Structure 1
Amino acid sequence: METEIYHADTIKEAARKIQAGELVAFPTETVYGLGADATNEAAVKKVYAAKGRPSDNPLIVHVADVETVEKYAQPLSDKTRLLMKTFWPGPLTIILNLKPKALSKSVTGGLATAAFRNPRNDATLDLIRQAGVPIVGPSANTSGKPSPTKAKHVYHDLHGKIAGILDDGPTQIGVESTVIDMSGEIPSILRPGGISEEQLTSVIGTVQSDHHKVGKDEIPKAPGMKYKHYAPNAQVLIVRERQWQAAMQWAAQRTERVGIMTTAQVKADYPLPSNGEWYSLGTDVATASRHLFAGLRHFDTESEVAYILAQGFDRIGLGEAYMNRLAKSAGQQYFEIPK
């Protein structure tokens, strides 16, 4: 299969591919998603096959408006409508109870709920409207690898496996959307992302965080809760703020090359060892979140390193989402000062 590259002036062609049951990757403000007609079960199953994704992992349904959600979900609560009014289009995914048999088990993972999102990207909103159907959209990467924030990342993983990629340049946030479960009595954050817990509570009041590890036989309500995610080939080690001097000394003693992902300030304060290769995370946690997955992919595909030392941030605001993804890519491993 030849994978076509689409742009803003060829969205109609990309929409036809979706209508025909083919897969087209699309940009959002967070990461690139792998799109298929959410109402076409055969097309949805192609998503799992292309990604190598376990079929019990539910998919996020991307929509262009609230009216589409109302076709599939049970009546929306006042709090749900307030979230949509405040944060849509944007990096917030909302899990809702479905009408009976509204979407196939291939979309929901067999649950009575589904996750909906209205992305903040004009090209993708146009694609959804022209296709005339809601579009499922897990991250457009090989399952378990760092999520794609550029069209070239998608092409690297999936060329020859999907019909096309809608290229709208690099994504702006770089980590996936916040997932909030509104299907129960108490709103619950299942995945941190571009909308912080503080932002959510300021709009709808109390929310709880549910970051428990999903059991082997348990079906996750949201993506990213069960299986290994975001892992490059090299071992990632998270470096705490006051450990960079020791980390650089440790790296200098390695016989292998070491990737180093930090802000410009850390690089200025702690010179790199001769066997170190730097990848810039910019200036703060916002730019670090935007560049995290691209940096991990750089060391996977363009440079041979055995270790990646990556800068940690405080788990405040966007830092919660950044550290959630970084910790998963590292397998929860932190750099420890040798004794």
Structure 2
Amino acid sequence: MTLRLHDSASGVAQAAALLRDGSLVAFPTETVYGLGGDATSEAAVAAIFAAKNRPSFNPLICHYASADAAFTDVIPTATALRIAAAFWPGPLTLVLPRRAGSRVSLLAGAGLDTLAVRVPAHPLAARLLAAAGRPVAAPSANLSGRVSPTTAAHVLDGLDGRIAAVIDGGACAVGLESTVLDLSGPVPMLLRAGGIPLETLRDLLPEIAEATHGGTAPRSPGQMLSHYAPDLPLRLGAQTVAADEALLAFGPAIAGGALQFSLSDSGDVVEAATRLFAGLRYLDAEGRRLGLRGIAAMPIPEMGLGRALNDRLGRAACAQPE
């Protein structure tokens, strides 16, 4: 049973404690209700994907109590500082280069070298984020593919029993997801239309371009295949591993290989999700150092988060390294 918490000092304190403990809490923003989890915890982020039945590890938006807090995890450009001053708090997400020492989990950023960050304007969200004291990853609080929720009742319609709590802040004022603006490249790029109209952004950014979504949109969730690709070739469905390959193992590892990384010894897809991007990075770096010819990935069942794991591994295998 999912707790329904009130907009009160005690409700905020309980919700913040649950987030710090790694539990999932839905909360209102001015746009829609978000399904919040500790963005610094791989396990909490994996639980978000599991609760939503989200089919792929798309980048999640990290929510902060202030712009200063957000800029501890990303590197703000001069344009980003100007846009943040104009529109934060508010329904605008900025995609910026990830800081080298960022505390945000690799899974929350889908292994990219950028992060999507925003400072919501809803007063309850601001109090909750300040009380939690850490970035909170939060996609919309609904099952994947369903209509985004704008009330606590909507959240419970789809996620009752799947998350720890929802804190009720009434109906969302905007009712439409945040605008997503990529400022990590040379040209500002609108990745998603949302709560702030393109025309309003163009008042400050006349050079803004609109992304196409045919597989080449920069930083668009799940679009750029090469962002998931190690430099070493990746071989899927491995039943054996050669002496000059590294092994990405799932369940009981097969014998052989010069190097191994286990996603989950027990074959737990949720645990595997928390370790996927770290495992690929480790095997790629160490494998190249050792002069290996590739990475062999053991099969993962197409169930639960296994579908998302296979989606990302498939993208990595077919992509050409940048």
Question: TM-score of the superposition, structure 1-length normalised?
Answer: 0.62
Q: 1:222 to 1:36 in 2, by over 3 A?
A: farther
Q: Which amino acid aligns with 1:168?
A: G
Q: Which amino acid aligns with 2:3?
A: E
Query: Would the aligned equivalents of 2:49 and 2:57 in 1 still touch at CA under 8 Å?
Result: no
The separation in 2 between residues aligned to 1:181 and 1:151, in whole angstroms, is: 30
Query: Would the aligned equivalents of 1:15 and 1:128 in 2 still touch at CA under 8 Å?
Result: yes
- Which residue is 1:5 aligned to? 4
Q: Which amino acid aligns with 1:183?
A: S
- Which residue is 1:96 aligned to? 96
Query: Would the aligned equivalents of 1:179 and 1:222 in 2 still touch at CA under 8 Å?
Result: no
| Cα deviation 1:71-102 (Å, max 9, x = unaligned) | 1112x122111111111111100000001252
Q: Which amino acid aligns with 1:125?
A: A
Query: Would the aligned equivalents of 1:23 and 1:163 in 2 still touch at CA under 8 Å?
Result: yes
| Cα deviation 1:204-245 (Å, max 9, x = unaligned) | 331000032337xx9x8345979xxxxxxxxxxxxxxxxxxx
The separation in 1 between residues aligned to 2:78 and 2:142, in whole angstroms, is: 35
Q: CA deviation at 1:117?
A: 0.8
Query: Would the aligned equivalents of 1:88 and 1:120 in 2 still touch at CA under 8 Å?
Result: yes
SS at match of 2:72: helix
Aligned pairs (5 A) from 1:213-228: 213-214=214-215, 221-222=219-220
The separation in 1 between residues aligned to 2:68 and 2:90, in whole angstroms, is: 16
Aligned pairs (5 A) from 1:283-294: none
Q: 1:60 to 1:31 in 2, by over 3 A?
A: same
Q: CA deviation at 1:64?
A: 0.7
SS at match of 2:35: strand
Q: 1:91 to 1:224 in 2, by over 3 A?
A: farther
Q: Which amino acid aligns with 1:28?
A: T
Q: Identify unmatched segments of 5+ residues in structure 2.
A: 225-322
Q: Which amino acid aligns with 2:141?
A: A
- Which residue is 2:128 aligned to? 127
Alignment of 1:36 with 2:37, yes or no, is yes
Q: Which amino acid aligns with 2:198?
A: E
Aligned pairs (5 A) from 1:64-213: 64-74=65-75, 76-100=76-100, 102=102, 103-213=104-214
The separation in 1 between residues aligned to 2:106 and 2:43, in whole angstroms, is: 11
Pairwise CA RMSD: 1.8
The separation in 2 between residues aligned to 1:106 and 1:176, in whole angstroms, is: 21
| Cα deviation 1:236-288 (Å, max 9, x = unaligned) | xxxxxxxxxxxxxxxxxxxxxxxxxxxxxxxxxxxxxxxxxxxxxxxxxxxxx
The separation in 2 between residues aligned to 1:223 and 1:170, in whole angstroms, is: 27
Q: 1:106 to 1:55 in 2, by over 3 A?
A: farther
Alignment of 1:63 with 2:61, yes or no, is no
Query: Would the aligned equivalents of 1:3 and 1:163 in 2 still touch at CA under 8 Å?
Result: yes
The separation in 1 between residues aligned to 2:92 and 2:167, in whole angstroms, is: 21
Query: Would the aligned equivalents of 1:59 and 1:222 in 2 still touch at CA under 8 Å?
Result: no
Q: Which amino acid aligns with 1:65?
A: S
Q: Which amino acid aligns with 1:8?
A: D
Aligned pairs (5 A) from 1:227-266: none
Q: CA deviation at 1:8?
A: 1.6
The separation in 2 between residues aligned to 1:211 and 1:151, in whole angstroms, is: 34
Query: Would the aligned equivalents of 1:115 and 1:222 in 2 still touch at CA under 8 Å?
Result: no
SS at match of 2:96: strand
Q: CA deviation at 1:124?
A: 0.7
Query: Would the aligned equivalents of 1:128 and 1:134 in 2 still touch at CA under 8 Å?
Result: yes
Q: Which amino acid aligns with 1:221?
A: R
Query: Would the aligned equivalents of 2:57 and 2:222 in 1 still touch at CA under 8 Å?
Result: no
Q: 1:54 to 1:105 in 2, by over 3 A?
A: farther
The separation in 2 between residues aligned to 1:121 and 1:99, in whole angstroms, is: 27
Q: Single out whichever of 61-70 and 134-143 deviates more from structure 2.
A: 61-70
Query: Would the aligned equivalents of 1:191 and 1:211 in 2 still touch at CA under 8 Å?
Result: no
- Which residue is 2:294 aligned to? none
The separation in 1 between residues aligned to 2:151 and 2:222, in whole angstroms, is: 20
